[in-house]
Amino acid sequence: MSLQIYISGKFYPKEDAKISVYDHGLLYGDGVFEGMRSYNGKVFRLEQHLDRLWSSARAILLEIPMTRPALAKAVNDTLALNKINDGYIRLVVTRGAGSLGIDPNKTSHPQVIVIADSISLYPEEFYQNGLEIITASTIRNHPAALSPRIKSLNYLNNILAKLEGLQAGCVEALMLNHKGEVAECTGDNIFLVKDSTVQTPPLDAGILEGITRDAIIELAKKAGYNVSENALTRHDVYVADECFLTGSAAEVIPVVKVDKRPIGDGAVGPVTRDLLERFKKLVRG
């Protein structure tokens, strides 16, 4: 059976799931989204994802044309209809169809789209042996231009950095902010481990507040690790004992080399392995 896609109150087979070419989500990247994971048929931290979706929408003056309970039901119904237990859910809200001009006031009928599918972001070998990444020359958008805390449909900033990584033979790339500080990767938050302290850039470094990031901070504190959210530089990355990335799609993935420099002894470290196991228990619990 074809995957069923939810669009604004109805389900459509994947090949028939369409929106207007005049939708400002397509024309201008004008909209917001969330990427979520399901485990055993249950969405991981759905309420936190909906909180972030509503915050992103409010920040761009986009009215979501559904209540939160109705949208939560649509997400769960889409999972159930497609019989997906362990999968990935993409929740999208567009500005709606309008004119070819950018005026949002000339749009109508924002579209709410829910896609549930399976996902394998990275090969299993990367989880076992670690990733190699580079630092991209493309910096994160200046927060005074576009807040990185808005999870918008315009991902060109991240895509340009991703292309740099791919051209260097890496599947991920590290992005710095306008101050030259470590921000995040193209699709994941970054963590370092130094002398058993778990470090990650603060929100004001120009990052998205990741749902998995928050879960790892909670798990690390419960496990007794010192956790620091302070400004970090590439120097901190190069001299770290361990490095790993977090994201809804990636979950927790080790990094063993940055800019051709081995991190620590060049192997997946014990704190990373410990937090990865704790995260697995959390989501499977």
Looking up residue 221, the CATH number of its domain turns out to be 3.20.10.10
Same domain, 272 and 181: yes
Q: What is residue 284's predicted lDDT score, i.e. its pLDDT?
A: 84
Catalytically annotated residues: 151
Domains contained in the chain, number:
2
Q: What's the pLDDT at 1?
A: 74
Q: Contact 51/45 with Cβ under 8 angstroms?
A: no
Domain interval for residue 200: 124-284
pLDDT, residue 120, reads 76
pTM for the full model?
0.95
At which of 102, 117, 132 does a domain end?
Answer: 117
Question: What pLDDT, on the 0 to 100 scale, is given for residue 190?
Answer: 98
**Nearest by Cα to 113 from 167, 157, 74:** 74
Q: Are residues 137 and 196 in the same domain?
A: yes
Q: Dump pLDDT digits (tens) for 211-256.
A: 999 999 999 999 999 999 999 999 999 999 999 999 998 999 999 9
Q: Are residues 219 and 82 in the same domain?
A: no
- pLDDT tens-digit map of 142-175: 999 999 899 999 999 999 999 999 999 999 999 9
Question: Cα(252)–Cα(245) distance, rounded to whole angstroms?
Answer: 6
d(CA 86, CA 96): 31
Q: Which stretches in the chain have pLDDT values below 50?
A: none
Query: What is the Cα–Cα distance from 97 to 20, expressed in whole angstroms?
Result: 6
- Give yes or no: residues 266 and 149 share one domain: yes
